[in-house]
Amino acid sequence: YPEPNQAKREHDRLRSILKGFGSEVIDIPELPGHPNSVFTRDTSICTPEGYVKLRMGLESRRGEGEWMSEILDSLGEHRAGIIKEPATIEGGDIILGGEVAFISLSSRTNEEGAGKVTELLMGMNYEVRTINLPKPFLHIGGAMSIIGRGCVLCCAGVFPEEYFEGFEVIKISSDKFITGNVITLGDGEVIVEVKNFLVIKKLKEKGFKVHTIELSEFIKGGGGPSCLTLPIERE
């Protein structure tokens, strides 16, 4: 089980790096009885036209979409859409990269959920690309990250070659389901879990500034760096 004091130290370190980069970090009240709500990325998706209220695929996480929706409403964010039963989709299965939206069907995201979000995003002029995500990945966010304008980090063997057409692709081998999971601070600067050795080495070779962070207690819950943040606005 996660050790609470160590988890807090790890989370504080993440907040410190984000603030040091110049990001505004918004602390929100916890949702009692929902320990997985620390993985805020899954609870919503924020676009330039507003946020989408999601319906979680894991039954024990139901209620987190409503919780985050109330928080975003309180911050004055516009609601651009809502996902309703029987559709399920989690934010970790949606990655926005410029004018392209990458979506995965997974154990947490069904066809109804992916279809509804696709409809909403196409209405915002996104090109939507969808795949069936293989195991052991929980979300597409464990297998890929946008790491700069037009640049993707991804796990080899997970995606068809044409999936990233128009993007520069950096491939890494994977033996864990969060290998492709990093936080991009800006072009050329990322946050990577300290034991993700292959990614750290590869990105440093490519000239990236890499901030390493220990997230051992959150990995126990199946999450990586990006799972712990929900970007509301990005430049």
Residues 6+ positions from 74 with CB-CB distance below 8 Å: none
The pLDDT tens digits of the residues spanning 129-147 come to 999 999 889 999 999 999 9
The pLDDT tens digits of the residues spanning 144-193 come to 999 999 999 999 999 999 999 999 999 999 867 779 999 999 989 999 99
What pLDDT was estimated at residue 235?
Answer: 76
> What average pLDDT does the segment 102-117 reach?
98
Integer Cα distance of 143 and 227 in angstroms = 12
Cβ atoms < 10 Å from Cβ of 204:
12
Partners of residue 102 on adjacent β-strands: 95, 129
Is there a contact between 200 and 190 (Cβ–Cβ < 8 Å)? no
Cβ atoms < 10 Å from Cβ of 121:
23
The H or E element that residue 213 is part of is strand 209-213
What pLDDT was estimated at residue 56?
Answer: 98
Q: In the chain, what are the domains?
A: 1-24+143-224 (3.75.10.10)
Q: State the pTM of this model.
A: 0.96
Measured CA angle at 181 (ends 180, 186), to 5 deg: 110
